[in-house]
Amino acid sequence: MYHVEQFSMQPVTLKLKHPFKTAHSTTFERPLTLIKLEVFDEKTHQVASGFGEVQSFADLSYAPENQQMSRTVIETMILPYLKSYSFNSAPDFASYLQQLTPFASFAKAGIEMAVWDAVGKLTNQSLAQMIGGSMTKVPVGIAFGLDVSASDIRSAISEGYQRIKLKIQADNLHIEQLTRLLEQFPQQHFSLDANSSFTPTNIELLKQLPDNVLFIEQPFAATDFVDHAHFQLQTKQLLSLDESINNINDIRTLVALKAARAVTIKQGKIGGISAAIAAIELAQISGIRPWIGGMLSSNLGRGVDLALASLEGIAFAGDIADSQHYFQTDITEEALTVHKGFMDVPQRPGIGLTVNDMFSTFL
């Protein structure tokens, strides 16, 4: 049995090297909340520190939970009951969090991440081992904003990225320019992320895309499961839902309505590692292709994403770019680097990464 002895959290801001532009906004910096737990093993009487991060954004333009809301839920609905519960495993602890609040997926995910990290250290197992990951390296992709250039794509291809994601918006000229850009690289796999910028009245723009587009992510609004289902029936193109997926029930809705043939799994958004595993399993048995999306997370979050991407049946290269790509300074001492289109899955106990002193001293 385990229990949490100490808890601390600290908001941090990571500066982006370059602005990241989507259909709705331009991001210059990434707010996160860093979490540290001290977990006590009641059998061995050992203590281990576990780290996690809350990956909600500053506002509500992407998801129905922002950083301030996440911290408020932690302080008022989770923290008062955190130290009174003894648990057998990280999934057991995740179930307890779900009992405390069925909402606030980002808040729960950040705390659960720290518990997995600590339990892995106490049991001398990597996160990938604990969740049943079968690969020591995984194929990875990279995401670019609306202002992507042919030079950016050539650079990504030279680094070996197996899938390149491009942000798109519902504009005739933009789609025409994008199509010409994609046609310059017929051998490269792409995906397109609409970030809910299309409606059923202008979706015709996406029906004549080149064959090297693997899938289109979230064309319509988050609540528009029915419109996604209608469009999926009309097009040979795979759709993948992202903004629509905030918990396991949203996966069930996707499956029931056949709203897409792929789904973007983001553990920080869906409620944590345990919820992500359940979502992957449900998608697979339902004939939906799951893959691991990115959240502009730190290396700590990307370490978790790598472990999830090592599970069998992940359909596409994940949004897990080289750690040098996005931030001026990252949270961990170790860099996550791409080698010929693959990234190593951390093998050390827990998440397998060390939080920099400049961040851990906050805690």
With bands split at pLDDT 50, 70 and 90, how would you rate the model's confidence at 352?
very high
Mean pLDDT score across all residues of the chain: 95
- Is the pLDDT at 363 greater than 90? The verdict is no
Give a yes or no: residue 47 inside a domain.
yes
Q: Could you tell me if residue 41 is inside a domain? A: yes
**pLDDT value, residue 322:** 87
For residues 166 and 122, membership in a common domain is answered with: no
Q: What is the CATH number of the domain that holds 55?
A: 3.30.390.10
- Specify whether 148 is located in the same domain as 238: yes
Residue 278 has pLDDT above 90, yes or no: yes
Q: What is the pTM of this model?
A: 0.95
Q: What is the model's pLDDT at position 362?
A: 67
> Do residues 119 and 174 both lie within one domain?
no
pLDDT at 21 over 80: no
184 shares its domain with 260:
yes
More reliable by pLDDT, 323 or 32:
32
CATH of residue 248: 3.20.20.120
Same-domain check for residues 241 and 303: yes
pLDDT at 18 over 70: yes
pLDDT band at 269 (very low <50, low <70, confident <90, very high): very high
| 83 is a domain residue | yes
Task: Tell me, yes or no, whether 363 lies in a domain.
Answer: no
Flag whether 362 is in a domain. Answer: no
Per residue in 255-265, pLDDT tens? 999 999 999 99
Same domain, 138 and 117: no
Does 135 share its domain with 103?
Answer: no
Average confidence (pLDDT) over 167-189:
92
Question: Which of 104, 127, 150 is the last residue in one of the domains?
Answer: 127
Task: Tell me, yes or no, whether 158 lies in a domain.
Answer: yes
Q: Are 203 and 330 in the same domain?
A: yes
Indicate whether 208 and 136 sit together in one domain.
Answer: yes
**pLDDT band (50, 70, 90) for residue 357:** confident
pLDDT at residue 324, rounded to an integer: 84
Mark which of 74, 98, 127 sits at the end of a domain: 127
Whether residue 85 is found in the same domain as residue 223: no
Range of the domain at 10: 2-127
The verdict on 112 and 199 lying in the same domain is no
Domain-terminating residue out of 85, 108, 127: 127
State the SS3 of the chain.
Answer: CEEEEEEEEEEEEEEEEEEEECCCCEEEEEEEEEEEEEEEECCCCCEEEEEEEECCECCCCCCCCEHHHHHHHHHHHHHHHHCCCEECCHHHHHHHHHHHCCCCHHHHHHHHHHHHHHHHHHHCCEHHHHHCCCCCEEEEEEEECCCCCHHHHHHHHHCCCCEEEEECCCCHHHHHHHHHHHHCCCCCCEEEECCCCCCCCCHHHHCCCCCCEEEEECCCCCCCHHHHHHHHHHCCCEEEECCCCCCHHHHHHHHHHCCCCEEEECHHHHCCHHHHHHHHHHHHHCCCEEEECCCCCCHHHHHHHHHHHCCCCCCCCEECCCCCCCECCCCECCCCCEECCEEECCCCCECCCCECHHHHCCC
Q: Is residue 103 part of a domain?
A: yes
Say if residue 197 is in the same domain as residue 325. Answer: yes
Q: Structurally, how many domains does the chain consist of?
A: 2
Segment 47-101, tens digit of pLDDT: 999 999 999 999 998 999 999 999 999 999 999 999 999 999 999 999 999 999 9
**279-299 per-position pLDDT tens digit:** 999 999 999 999 999 999 999
